[in-house]
Structure 1
Amino acid sequence: MAEKMMQFVNIGQNYPEKRTADERKKDFDEIYSRFSIEKAQEQASRCEQCGIPYCSVACPVSNNIPDWLRLVAAGRLEDAYHVSQETNTLPEICGRICPQDRLCEGLCVLEQSEHNAVTIGSIEKFITDNAWEQGWVKPPQPLQELGQSVGIIGSGPAGMAAADRLRRKGYEVHVYERSDRVGGLLVYGIPGFKLEKDVVARRAKLLEDGGVTFHLNFEVGTDASLKDLQAKHDAVMIAVGVYAGRKLDAPGSDLENIFPAMYFLTASNKKSFGDDVQEFDDGTLNAEGKNIVVIGGGDTAMDCVRTSIRQGAKSVKCLYRRDRANMPGSQREVENAENEGVDFQWLSAPKSFKGLGKVQKVEAVSMHLGVADGSGRQSVKEIEGSEFEIDADIVIEALGFEPEDIPTLFGEPDLAVTRWGTVEVDQETWMTNLDGVFAAGDIERGASLVVSCINDAREASDEIHKYLRAKTRAGTAAE
């Protein structure tokens, strides 16, 4: 057992064992194994216990990372779990899918030296997986029932985080989900090789065991309007995420077999559950034996290219208009994708799509980086005369996500939205322009990280609690 911290001078950085590319591209199982207790303690002991914990500063939920690293190193694993879950409702999920190289590990002081970062994400995953096995993870149990109810629209990371926090405070919580499973993008957007679905399912069951009621296949605007939910509950939170994929406006973009990323990923994830998916079963959304072109450079694009590899694609190319250093996605994901056989076409952008009815080729053009703008990001410009063609049987657009038309969808035209279509809220209270209706997560901030959605939902839940307590006191005073 590690007896002291700051062992980075004696112990090198070590990640859990990773399956070989040849092994992992044959299935959708997670690619990393889990630390043993001894290895987790060893790696945790490398922490420098900085006076200013930049790892915590970089974490959207402000995890007390140095504290639970010290507890792991000392063998106090149950204490480490409780400290971890105090700030993060879904630590076992964040340990798997957070881009730690851009967040906590990226700002680790050791990363700025020759010693390399503490493997924070892998230790976080170990802490909670071990806690589940030991029976330390308990359903939310309020100290008292408050006699008020909250309706949450959406069961993704923001919805699940809000449900947990509000239930613990003593509210009756109902979650309305238009899909047939709890989890939102956690089950249908993120592939199993990054997040196996039983991890999400056990968290959903824990919430149910704690008294949260999930209403599946429930579409707000069809099965009930937003006004109906307002009448039924004392407060409502909108946590539906953003799912409308951005589209390219280029010649030929109306050809068949050009799909948004979420459409492609959802079909694949549904098949992993054993569902019947007609467009996959008839070959339309199955990459097997086909030339796949993915457009984009974020983590969703990495999910698409790596999914295509596992489906048995003939070739997989990823077009991104900037270079590798300027891509928004995790560099670890790029490395994993390259090892699995993805061909990255850096500084390349689609110019048109060609084919007879269905797409057959992507006409791309080479780009170069120009002068930086006010934000410091370089502009991109076409290189004249550099056009080239790529064979394509399926093109996947992974260009980011935008909100759906929520006021129309929910049958509530008075709900205020921003010019980007996100639901507008008061920045201090998280309340929309409708009394008692709140919003959190991507539908409020725009497409972002799962961990940011969790933090938003926790903060918004606290504001709902303040709102309802004030409402209760006002009602009591009136009596």
Structure 2
Amino acid sequence: MTTAELIAARRSEPWREELRKSKKNKERTDIPRVEMNELDPEYRSHTRLEEVNLGLTKEQAMQEAQRCLDCPNPTCMEGCPVSINIPTFIKNIERGEFLEAAKVLKETSALPAVCGRVCPQEKQCESKCIHLKMKKAPVAIGYLERFAADYERESGQISVPEIAEKNGIKVAVIGSGPAGLSFAGDMAKRGYDVTVFEALHEIGGVLKYGIPEFRLPNKIVDVEIEGLRKMGVKFITNCIVGKTISYEDLHEEGFKGFFAASGAGLPNFMNIPGENLIGVMSSNEYLTRVNLMDAANPESDTPVLQGKKVAVIGGGNTAMDSVRTARRLGAERAMIVYRRSEEEMPARVEEVKHAKEEGVEFMTLHNPVEYIGDDRGRVKQMRLQKMELGEPDASGRRRPVAIEGAIDTIDVDEVIVSVGVSPNPLIPRAFSGLEVSKWGTIVVDQDTMRSALPDVYAGGDIVRGGATVILAMGDGRKAAAAMDASLQGK
């Protein structure tokens, strides 16, 4: 059932209108929003593998669930790219039926424990909560999603979604990030023989290499992946589609449909003097080496530089992950350098808050123009142009404008550049016939995620150029529904 159909069904139930008007609902709006339990900032800033957010207790979750008004027109669902039946799972929590809540989540989401941690609910479902119209804090949907998924995992009673009878049709998924995993889960539910091909040695894509343990523990991702395995999804690692195996090879092996979810793994740089100095690297390299290659260990075969004066260039979630990682690796001065003001930062408010609590310095309205090296070719300083905000640009944010002659020189011994990424070009080059945009993204029909090749669909960063986990998952679900319709001749 689609989100629109679910909402229509809820509207048709007359008792919900009575509930909405009840006196009890007034009491629900007066319950204060729950606060997340967290590790102490001083402690956590020195430990890399412990998760900052500790989750809610049963009592906290049930109290927060009471705040949900169970609206007959649940606008929160309109803000969810994967169409979770939000009121239903929350009301299960309110009744103490936590395992039932988890089952509701898994009807539409392949990764509820992941989304409960990293999805920007404040810009999605929570941004449409009716509480906001009453000048109240929205229901903590993300916290409750995490609670239900964690409760199920910790109970040991992990359910597997209902699987249709196997139809014998083979489909291939290229990339095991959130878009690929979401697609794989939906196709497995429909009875398809699903194989996920991953270029790296670990399954999870950006969930593993891009997000640190203190924000998303690997064990959480592994449990979600194991759930997909129980649904019949097969995974092949260290296999680069387009190199190790070709599009034609996969056809010969009997695959009838393909979902390209190879991400955007090429880091962008600013092309300013000094970017080739030792100690200047991309956030992609930095986080991948720390998260997947044990590079934080000095005894590692490829240890990463652990600077004492570290500047991270950028203001997104990846920049926050990088600077907070640097702090945990011993940086005495960890700085975010961002050319706009804090209000324009794309990073989640929670991530900015955590970074500040952990001692990160924010140098907003500054933009690097040059990195200066020592006689060994190592970065030792950065020159920063002071900025001010001008008129809004195409993104709606005020454009940063240089203040003539206002230059600061700051000592640094490591710079991590986090100013965006570009799509991985391998699939567009290897699959002859794909239409590719000037930005290197695969062009698809936005309603079906179908490419110019009739049997190839695509989603996530390879289409968007840069997306949140939940938007990528939404692409995967949309592509699965469209591919199923095509393969079944509907």
Residue of structure 2 in register with 1:448 after alignment: 467
Residue of structure 2 in register with 1:21 after alignment: 41
Q: Distance in 1 between matches of 2:52 and 2:216?
A: 10
Which of residues 400, 416, 421 in structure 2 aligns to 1:401? 421
Q: Distance in 2 between matches of 1:127 and 1:104?
A: 17
Residue of structure 2 in register with 1:137 after alignment: 158
Tell me, what secondary structure is at the counterpart of 2:312? strand
Residues 211, 287 of structure 2: 8 Å contact kept: yes
Residues 305, 414 of structure 2: 8 Å contact kept: no
Deviates more, 1:457-466 or 1:63-72: 63-72
Q: Distance in 2 between matches of 1:73 and 1:314?
A: 45
Which of residues 401, 405, 426 in structure 1 aligns to 2:445? 426
Which of residues 252, 256, 274 in structure 2 aligns to 1:234? 256
Which of residues 390, 399, 402 in structure 2 aligns to 1:370? 390
Residues 169 and 401 of structure 1, relative CA distance in 2, 3 Å threshold = same
Residues 112 and 191 of structure 1, relative CA distance in 2, 3 Å threshold = farther
Which of residues 174, 180, 194 in structure 2 aligns to 1:173? 194
Residues 326 and 7 of structure 1, relative CA distance in 2, 3 Å threshold = same
Residue of structure 2 in register with 1:84 after alignment: 105
Residue of structure 1 in register with 2:238 after alignment: 217
Instruction: Tell me the amino acid that sits aligned with residue 459 of structure 2.
Output: A
Residues 309, 333 of structure 2: 8 Å contact kept: yes
Residues 365, 383 of structure 1: 8 Å contact kept: yes
Residue of structure 2 in register with 1:348 after alignment: 366
TM-superposed deviation, 1:140: 5.2
TM-superposed deviation, 1:303: 0.3
Tell me, what secondary structure is at the counterpart of 1:236? strand
Tell me, what secondary structure is at the counterpart of 1:384? strand
TM-superposed deviation, 1:187: 0.7
Residue of structure 2 in register with 1:45 after alignment: 66
Which of residues 90, 103, 119 in structure 2 aligns to 1:98? 119
Which of residues 424, 435, 441 in structure 2 aligns to 1:416? 435
Residues 272 and 56 of structure 1, relative CA distance in 2, 3 Å threshold = farther
Residues 82 and 4 of structure 1, relative CA distance in 2, 3 Å threshold = farther
TM-superposed deviation, 1:77: 2.3
Deviates more, 1:172-181 or 1:130-139: 130-139
Residues 267, 277 of structure 1: 8 Å contact kept: no
Residues 106, 161 of structure 2: 8 Å contact kept: no
Length, aligned pairs only: 463
Residues 273 and 39 of structure 1, relative CA distance in 2, 3 Å threshold = farther
Which of residues 306, 309, 314 in structure 1 aligns to 2:324? 306
TM-superposed deviation, 1:463: 1.1
Tell me, what secondary structure is at the counterpart of 1:278? coil
| TM-score normalized with structure 1 length | 0.91
Residues 15, 122 of structure 1: 8 Å contact kept: no
Which of residues 310, 321, 339 in structure 1 aligns to 2:357? 339
Tell me, what secondary structure is at the counterpart of 2:55? coil
CA-atom RMSD in angstroms: 2.2
Q: Distance in 1 between matches of 2:349 and 2:99?
A: 32
Runs ≥4 in structure 1, deviation > 6 angstroms? 273-276
Instruction: Tell me the amino acid that sits aligned with residue 283 of structure 2.
Output: A
Q: Distance in 1 between matches of 2:182 and 2:157?
A: 18
Residue of structure 2 in register with 1:477 after alignment: none
Which of residues 146, 155, 159 in structure 1 aligns to 2:167? 146
Deviates more, 1:330-339 or 1:198-207: 198-207
TM-superposed deviation, 1:113: 4.7
Residues 242, 446 of structure 1: 8 Å contact kept: yes
Tell me, what secondary structure is at the counterpart of 1:173? strand
Give unmatched runs, 5+ long, in structure 2.
1-22
TM-superposed deviation, 1:149: 0.3
Tell me, what secondary structure is at the counterpart of 1:84? helix
After superposition, the C-alpha distances for 1:230-273 in whole angstroms (9 at most, x for unaligned) are: 33201111111111111111122222221111100011112569
TM-superposed deviation, 1:51: 4.7
Residue of structure 2 in register with 1:279 after alignment: 302
Residue of structure 2 in register with 1:267 after alignment: 289
Residues 13 and 442 of structure 1, relative CA distance in 2, 3 Å threshold = same
TM-superposed deviation, 1:218: 0.5
Residues 360 and 112 of structure 1, relative CA distance in 2, 3 Å threshold = farther
Instruction: Tell me the amino acid that sits aligned with residue 337 of structure 1.
Output: A
Q: Does 1:196 align with 2:213?
A: no
Residues 414 and 210 of structure 1, relative CA distance in 2, 3 Å threshold = same
Q: Distance in 1 between matches of 2:97 and 2:243?
A: 50
After superposition, the C-alpha distances for 1:108-147 in whole angstroms (9 at most, x for unaligned) are: 3334555322222111101111122334433455331101
Residue of structure 1 in register with 2:79 after alignment: 58
Q: Distance in 1 between matches of 2:394 and 2:422?
A: 24
Residue of structure 2 in register with 1:476 after alignment: none
Q: Does 1:292 align with 2:314?
A: no
Counting aligned pairs with the same residue, the percent is: 35
Q: Does 1:124 align with 2:145?
A: yes
TM-superposed deviation, 1:435: 2.7
| TM-score normalized with structure 2 length | 0.89
After superposition, the C-alpha distances for 1:277-308 in whole angstroms (9 at most, x for unaligned) are: 5332xxxx232x52111000000000001111
TM-superposed deviation, 1:9: 4.4
Residues 389 and 215 of structure 1, relative CA distance in 2, 3 Å threshold = same
